Amino acid sequence: DIYFPNFVEWARAYAVPGNPLFVPETGRAPDATPANGFYAIGELGAIGFSPFAIESYKPDDPLGDAYDVLRQLTPLVLEHQGDDSMIGVRPPVSFDGIVDDTPQSFRLGDYTLHVAFKGTSPEPAPQRKVEAHGGLIIRLGADEYLVAGQGLIVTFSTEGATAGIESIWEGTFVDGRWLPGRLLNGDESHQGRHLRIPEGKFGIQRVRLYRYR
């Protein structure tokens, strides 16, 4: 059971070889709980994540939105768990409730992914809930990634070249099949500079990259 704000610290302590992570009970952090679920499943290979009194959540609660996305991604998550092609991302929170929103970088395949958790909302800083930001990223191929979550800005770099964004598609999975929605460009990708999933609603985007000199 994890009821402390520093979820990342405690979950990492239990995710050790030979001990699959299972979180049977967690809660008392309604803003952070959905992001904790994405992190536990995407980064730590959790085989279960259960918030306390889940039956008391309202239908429009962000947790339901997050679970809908995770349900869509279940076949893909099971395919990629354990092969170093998937990561979970979220800003860690200290025991005192202080959010570390420092950008994070991850090497995934031939690219380094730089993930920022601020700047995704027009809301003034006091109204932002950065502890609610997070998600998971899956490497689908040599130049293609899936990003799911909310409150994320992802830029890409690679050694010996410049990483460019060929396309970003919003979409959903239905019965395990990808259904593309909007092709994002212009202001939605900052003129091809980054992938951005705003805060407020969990979503899925697929990005295809290319390299040039």
Q: What is the pLDDT of residue 35?
A: 95
Q: What is the pLDDT of residue 210?
A: 96
Write the CA distances from 90 to 57, 60, 156, 209, integer angstroms. 22, 22, 17, 23
Q: What is the pLDDT of residue 55?
A: 85
| Sheet architecture: strand order including 152-157 | 104-108, 111-116, 152-157, 195-197
Strands 48-51 and 22-26: parallel
Give CA–CA dist 134/209, Å, rounded: 22
Q: What is the pLDDT of residue 50?
A: 92
- Identity at 144, one-letter amino acid code: E
3-state SS record for 40-94 = HHHHHCCCEEEECCHHHCCCCCHHHHHHHHHHHHHHHHHHHCCCCCEEEECCCEC
Q: What is the pLDDT of residue 27?
A: 82
Q: What is the pLDDT of residue 18?
A: 85
Residue numbers in the chain where pLDDT is lower than 70:
28, 120-127
CA 50 to chain centre: 18
pLDDT tens for 118-131 read 876 555 555 578 99
pLDDT tens for 59-97 read 788 899 999 999 999 999 999 998 899 999 999 999 998
Write the CA distances from 64 to 17, 68, 202, integer angstroms. 31, 6, 10
DSSP H/E element including 12:
helix 7-14
Place of tokens 């979950």: 11
- Identity at 107, one-letter amino acid code: R
The angle, 0 to 180 degrees and rounded to 10, between the axes of the packed helices 7-14 and 33-44 is 30
